[in-house]
């Protein structure tokens, strides 16, 4: 017959269905991230190119504006109605206002000879001025553009006899006559004085920019290492035969930078994928552990139910026999009453264990610590279980070393832990017929313990049986809640799976530890459970130590940890 899934299973079905969706989402996001990385790289290259181009445009525009600004100053000083005052008005401020202008000329445009009507020069050589005047009339004037608006400022950039010349010119009219105003700019001064000052911020990196002429020869700056990110821009209106070349970085440097950035982004994508997959793995592991814990809890409930049902059934059965007076003799009556008492104790121990475990789970377990003898606590617990052991024909041997120091303990809680270990050992001692209990010093025996340092001074409680033993793979989980050994399940040994978890919690609350050793014999049989506790200094007048870390005094809860408990952990 098919069984309907539980509510927990129904909730987990869509949860696990999301796992492949998460994996697909991680892969899709990784692919998108890689594609975006490549697109960002292309966009970065385009951005670098655009930034370089913009910077080059800004620089050539700055030089053009500087030359045009000087031309405007010249235009302000030239009055074609009074040509004789040009030199007096311009020369006093020429070096400051028009540093690159060598000379100003005014030509008569109404006659074919184009006579020079006015000439003002900053130069010291009259021969150079005469040579330029002749060159202007013979070779530069024919190259000038007089179409359209002749009053517009124009420039002529021309090479004559391997000499680069730059002139600014515009026309003026006065009383029906046409005049041509010419400003002669000294190109060498532009190259050696203006450009270094204008491009100083770019010149810090000697391979970032230069200026070349129409034949590709460098006229300013060093050679530039070529690459796809080197751009060239001509000067728009002035030195239009020259070109400014600029590279934001060299091709090799940019390639290395892009490669480093690409590697970093790929690593980030990979790291993100690893984090996502690790998170997914954690979720899956958490879900698996949750399912495992749920299964253990289910087994715990089943075991507790069985443990409750069996003694209750016996109590009810023998109680009904006694109530119905169906007892053949007094000996049977006494035997039945003993069974009822024994099973009642068993029920009490089971309920106490469950309540104590519930307090541990809620984090409300608290202990009342005081200086005391570990040996006395162990002796009481053994005496409590000796009658049951005799009834089950099991011998309990107690060995207490001499000269053991006291410890800071909660006597009732420690007794609860020892009772759980004894109960656990009696379940498996039927095969071997003997349980050994020993209280001894760890790291040295008897009185020699006082010679040890405080760090090494510990009192150990050892409970051993000659049962089937515990497999090594199970030993690291045997103290976990709800865990029972495989052989306990196979032999259907009674138990709830919380006894050893309580033992571990009590030991650690005392600042100690719990461990298991198995097997004890060569044929793989026997187990020993050890609880070790830190010992106090031998001076009995010494003040009591503070409770171990995490312990909270609570007399009310301490009273609930009465001895007589049911273990059933292995």
Q: What does the H/E/C string look like for 361-428?
A: HCCCCCCCCEEECHHHHHHHHHHHHHHHHHHCCCEEEEEECCCCCCEEECHHHHHHHHHHHHHHHHHH
On whether residue 418 sits in a domain, the answer given is: yes
Helix axes 411-432, 330-361, angle to 10 degrees: 120
Q: How much is the pLDDT for 213? A: 92
Q: How much is the pLDDT for 446? A: 42
- C-alpha 334/C-alpha 318 separation (Å) is 11
- C-alpha 238/C-alpha 157 separation (Å) is 7
- C-alpha 266/C-alpha 77 separation (Å) is 65
On whether residue 339 sits in a domain, the answer given is: no
Alpha helices in 324-365 (DSSP H): 330-361
On whether residue 549 sits in a domain, the answer given is: yes
Q: What's the domain count of the chain?
A: 2
Residues 51 and 181 in one domain: yes
CATH code for the domain of 469:
3.30.565.10
Residue with token string 């571990």: 504
Pick the last residue of a domain from 249, 264, 299: 249
Residues 68 and 190 in one domain: yes
Say how many Å lie between the first and final Cα of the chain, rounded. 33
Pick the last residue of a domain from 220, 249, 278: 249
Judge contact between 565 and 412, C-beta under 8 A: no
On whether residue 409 sits in a domain, the answer given is: yes
On whether residue 268 sits in a domain, the answer given is: no
CA 129 to chain centroid, in Å, comes to: 75
Residues 239 and 388 in one domain: no
In three-state secondary structure terms, 151 is: coil
Expressed as residue numbers, the domain containing 69 is: 8-249
Q: Residue 177 CB: number of other CB atoms within 10 A?
A: 13
Residues 232 and 375 in one domain: no
Closest to 411 (Cα-Cα) out of 365, 370, 379: 370
Q: How much is the pLDDT for 409? A: 92
Residues 26 and 167 in one domain: yes
Write out the DSSP string of 495-544: --S-HHHHHHHHHHHTT-EEEEE---STTS--EEEEEEEEBPPS-TTSPP
In three-state secondary structure terms, 193 is: helix
Q: How much is the pLDDT for 361? A: 64
Listed in order, strand segments (DSSP E) in 175-258 are 177-185, 209-212, 218-220, 230-234, 243-247
State phi, psi for 394 to the nearest 5 degrees: -120, 135
Q: Residue 196 CB: number of other CB atoms within 10 A?
A: 12
Closest to 159 (Cα-Cα) out of 246, 117, 223, 217: 217
CA 210 to chain centroid, in Å, comes to: 47
CA-derived radius of gyration, the chain: 52
On whether residue 17 sits in a domain, the answer given is: yes
Distance of CA 516 to CAs 208, 282, 474, Å?
Answer: 75, 30, 10
Helix axes 411-432, 499-509, angle to 10 degrees: 140
Residues 222 and 370 in one domain: no
Pick the last residue of a domain from 249, 282, 303: 249
Q: Chunked in runs of 10, what are the mean pLDDT values of the chain (570 residues)?
A: 45 57 69 70 71 83 94 93 91 93 93 88 87 92 87 92 93 91 95 87 63 91 70 90 78 61 75 77 80 69 64 79 82 83 76 70 72 92 82 87 90 87 81 83 53 62 87 80 59 64 87 89 85 82 50 41 37
State phi, psi for 113 to the nearest 5 degrees: -75, -20
Q: How much is the pLDDT for 102? A: 94
- CA 391, 392, 393, 399 dihedral sign is negative
Listed in order, strand segments (DSSP E) in 7-130 are 101-108, 116-121
């Amino acid at each position: 017959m098919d069984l309907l899934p539980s509510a927990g299973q129904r909730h987990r079905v869509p949860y696990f269905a999301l796992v492949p969706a998460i994996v697909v989402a991680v892969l899709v996001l990784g692919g998108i991230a890689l594609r975006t990385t490549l697109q960002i790289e292309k966009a970065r290259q385009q951005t670098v190119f655009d930034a370089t181009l913009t910077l080059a445009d800004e620089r050539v525009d700055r030089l053009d504006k500087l030359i045009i600004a000087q031309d405007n100053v010249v235009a302000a000083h030239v009055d074609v109605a009074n040509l004789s005052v040009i030199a007096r008005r311009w020369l006093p401020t020429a070096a400051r206002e028009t540093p690159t202008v060598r000379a100003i000329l005014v030509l008569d445009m109404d006659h074919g000879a184009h006579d020079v009507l006015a000439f003002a020069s900053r130069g010291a050589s009259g021969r150079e001025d005469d040579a330029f005047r002749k060159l202007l009339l013979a070779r530069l004037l024919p190259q000038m553009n007089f179409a359209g608006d002749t009053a517009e400022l124009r420039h002529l950039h021309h090479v004559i006899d391997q000499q680069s010349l730059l002139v600014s010119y515009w026309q003026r009219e006065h009383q029906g006559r046409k005049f041509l105003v010419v400003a002669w700019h000294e190109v060498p001064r532009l190259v050696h004085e203006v450009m270094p000052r204008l491009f100083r911020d770019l010149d810090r990196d000697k391979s970032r920019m230069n200026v070349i002429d129409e034949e590709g020869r460098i006229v300013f700056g060093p050679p530039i290492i070529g690459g796809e990110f080197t751009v060239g821009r001509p000067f728009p209106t002035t030195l239009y035969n020259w070109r400014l070349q600029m590279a934001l970085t060299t091709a090799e440097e940019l390639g290395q930078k892009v490669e480093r950035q690409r590697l970093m982004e790929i690593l980030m994508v990979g790291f993100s994928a690893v984090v996502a997959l690790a998170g997914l793995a954690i979720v899956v592991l958490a879900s698996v552990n949750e399912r495992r814990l749920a299964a253990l809890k289910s087994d715990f409930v089943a075991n507790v139910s069985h443990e409750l049902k069996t003694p209750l059934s016996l109590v009810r059965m023998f109680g009904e026999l006694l109530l119905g007076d169906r007892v053949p003799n007094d000996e049977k009556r006494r035997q039945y009453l003993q069974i009822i008492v024994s099973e009642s104790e068993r029920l009490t121990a089971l309920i106490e264990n469950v309540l104590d475990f519930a307090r541990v789970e809620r984090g409300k377990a608290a202990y009342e610590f005081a200086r005391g003898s570990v040996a006395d606590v162990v002796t009481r617990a053994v005496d409590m279980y000796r009658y049951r052991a005799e009834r089950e024909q099991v011998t309990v041997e107690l060995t207490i070393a001499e000269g053991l120091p006291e410890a800071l303990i909660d006597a009732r809680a420690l007794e609860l832990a020892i009772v759980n270990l004894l109960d656990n050992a009696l379940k498996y001692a039927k095969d071997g017929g003997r349980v050994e209990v020993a209280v001894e010093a760890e790291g040295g025996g008897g009185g020699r313990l006082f010679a040890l340092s405080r760090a090494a001074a510990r009192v150990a409680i050892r409970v051993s049986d000659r049962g089937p033993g515990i497999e090594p793979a199970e030993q690291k989980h045997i103290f976990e809640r709800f865990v029972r050994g495989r052989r306990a399940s196979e032999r259907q040994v009674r138990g709830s799976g919380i006894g050893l978890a309580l033992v571990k919690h009590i030991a650690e609350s005392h600042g100690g530890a719990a461990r298991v050793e198995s097997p004890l014999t060569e044929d793989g049989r026997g187990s020993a459970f050890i609880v070790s506790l830190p010992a106090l200094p031998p001076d009995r007048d010494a003040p009591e130590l503070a409770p171990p870390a995490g312990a909270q005094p609570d007399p009310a809860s301490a009273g609930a940890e009465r001895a007589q408990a049911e273990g059933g952990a292995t």
